[in-house]
Chain A
Amino acid sequence: MDNFKDKLYQLEVTPPPDMWSKIEASLDDEKVIQLPGIRKRSTFLFYGITAAAAIVILLISGIFFSKDKKIQNVAQVQPVTQKQPLTPVINKDSIVQNQEILESIIKTKKNKNLIAAVTPRKEGGKKEYITIAGAEGQPVRISKKAATLIISADDEYPPKAKWDKQIDEWQQIMLDNTLSPTPTNLMDIMQKAANLE
């Protein structure tokens, strides 16, 4: 005799006769819901949308990276074009410019004191400096104003009073400065003052 577990496990009961027709009807309903045409269309739509999205992404990324490359190229080229050929040109230009400025100051018939004030600054607000040879031949950068004063001194211009005033100002600056003047620069000043007199 089978035990009750086997009896229940192997229990077989014939289902109602109309059961299959109900199941069949349910299966037909499933087919109606999943029409093959709709399925194909939805599949086509899905792949179409996916492909379109992929193309758009590729285009955008292509544009983005090409821009990025251009910027990189510019960044790579610029230093080369500036550094190599321009360095000597700048030096040459600055020497020529020096000469031109000095000549324009010397030759001008205008009040030489006004030249520096009137001469407009370069774009970017930077002063134009000129380089002259110092007492021992060393290069010294001076402003236009200082150049004007030096040239004027040679031409006995401006008047002595102007120079006195300027030296008084320098002395005052030195007195106000916490740094004590060294014997060397004090002697330079004395020498300069003697020369002027």
Chain B
Amino acid sequence: MNLKSNYIPSESDLIQGCINKDRLMQRQLYDTYSPKMYGVCLRYAGNENDANDILQEGFIKVYKNIGKFRSEGSFEGWIRRIFVNTAIEHYRKKVKMYNVTEAQENTIVDKELTALDTLATKDIMKIVDELSPGYKAVFNMHVIEGYSHKEIADILGITEGTSKSQLARAKGVLRNLIETRINKKNNDSITL
């Protein structure tokens, strides 16, 4: 199949082309989804090199398994899930999970994280990047991707309780980081 420069294939054509191992369609799929998926990779990875590895591995998986896509959900959601799983596999060995008590979990309130809304995406990313790989994984999966604690537990091979406790700790760390950053910003503005 020849693609003209301004031709944008439909999602079903794109999928069928990739099933047929059409290189042009594979490239089209990459061009369409790689910026979003690279964003996912960067959120989970600790650095750009790791994010690049995850991106490459993720797209290979997408091309290999695209025949298994059953159009039951959104195609982008299916691709995103592959990338999240690839990122998790990449970091599974590095991640160490520690349980915290329910009391600790309940002390963290989501409201405190709303301060992040005032920040630019770049700044939010910098703050999230400061989390340890374990906290970052659970935070990204639950808060950003919307996975349930059960799903997170299944994917990471931990208990639901551990997933909850990791999230609680992640939020605690984020709260401290936000406070520090906001205080610094205020001080800078006063000085100016």
Contact = CB atoms under 8 A, between A and B. Distances in A.
* A and B co-occur in one complex: yes
Interface of A: 1-5, 7-16, 19-20, 22-24, 26-27, 30
B30 A13 contact: no
A8 B35 contact: no
Secondary structure class of chain A's binding surface, majority of residues: helix
Nearest to B58: A23
Nearest to A9: B144
A169 to B, nearest CB: 96
A16 B21 CA distance: 23
Interface residues of B, number: 33
B109 interface: no
B121 A23 contact: no
B56 A26 contact: yes
B125 A3 contact: no
B55 A15 contact: yes
B40 to A, nearest CB: 8
Interface of B: 23, 26-27, 30, 34-36, 38-40, 42-43, 52, 55-56, 59-60, 63-64, 113-114, 116-119, 121, 124-125, 128, 140, 143-145
Given A13-B35, A15-B52, A20 B63 contact: no
Contacts of A16: 52
29 contacts: A1-B117, A1-B118, A4-B113, A4-B116, A5-B144, A7-B121, A7-B124, A8-B43, A8-B124, A8-B125, A8-B144, A9-B144, A11-B36, A11-B39, A11-B42, A11-B125, A13-B38, A14-B38, A15-B35, A15-B38, A19-B34, A19-B52, A20-B30, A22-B56, A23-B30, A24-B23, A26-B56, A26-B60, A27-B63
